Amino acid sequence: MIMKTFLNKVVLAVGLLALTACASTFRSEVSTFHELTSPGGERVLVTPIFQENEDSLEFKQYANIVAGHLAQYGYKSTGDSEPELIAGFDVTIDDGREKIFVRPDPFGGFYWQRSFWGHGRFHRGFNHFGGGFGYGQFGAFGGFGHRNGFGAFGSHDLVARTYYTATLKLELRKPDGTIVFEGRAETQTRRKDLPKALPFLAAALFKSFPGENGITRRVVIDREAFAAKAAE
């Protein structure tokens, strides 16, 4: 009985540590494809990919965040001049997907824990942005697999939690429509709060910009350090 109680405390402690780690960091999957060697300091116009978002106050705020990151890499505002590059961006958050967890009974022994996603697919195309340059559809991506873990057996509960997928997409084009960069940052969040997620998605996408070509990488951001830097 003493050993069982001790093992249950260990299981609970490990679970709490995992939750704390997730709460203190922002995790994102970042994919980049480009023909850039290094940022060249060009004049850039930042604009939503979809024309219907051009007058949106929300998207103007997002555009300022994207422009701020571009400026850190030497890109300049167009001012009254013609742009040398056009940065088209889009931000989305889906309607959520339930993830099922097996929650252990703290008075049980050991068990195998399993969680799993439903399988879905996200696809969206576009043919305009900014000054009206036409181009074709952009990407498709979707579902997540399942994951197994080790915990405690005995009685247990099934717990359903809803996770939302927030995505920032960015592409850089020359005025003639030639694309030189496209990237995507994606994260899972418990809250459907795009304004809160966007600054972290932008920071993840621009980390080590432009990144390796044709690579998807995991970017982890410390939330406290990010907030402290933003307050400077």
Identify the pLDDT of residue 41: 87
Strands 140-142 and 85-93: unpaired
Kind plus residue range of the DSSP H or E element containing 153: none
**Total number of domains in the chain:** 1
Alpha-helical regions (H) of 27-118: 57-72
* Residue ranges, the chain, pLDDT below 70: 1-22, 104-156
- In contact, 56 and 195? CB cutoff 8 Å: no
Identify the pLDDT of residue 124: 37
Integer-rounded Cα Rg, in Å, for the chain is 21
Question: Which amino acid, 154?
Answer: G
In total, the chain counts a number of residues equal to 232
SS3 14: helix
Identify the pLDDT of residue 108: 52
Q: By residue range, what is the domain housing residue 222?
A: 2-230
Report in angstroms the alpha-carbon separations of 163 from 92, 116, 189, 193, 226.
14, 12, 5, 11, 23
Render pLDDT for 126-169 as a digit per residue (tens, 0 to 9): 333 333 333 333 333 333 333 444 444 455 678 888 999 999 99
Identify the pLDDT of residue 205: 98
Q: Does the reported pTM lie above 0.75?
A: no
Q: Give 130's DSSP letter.
A: T
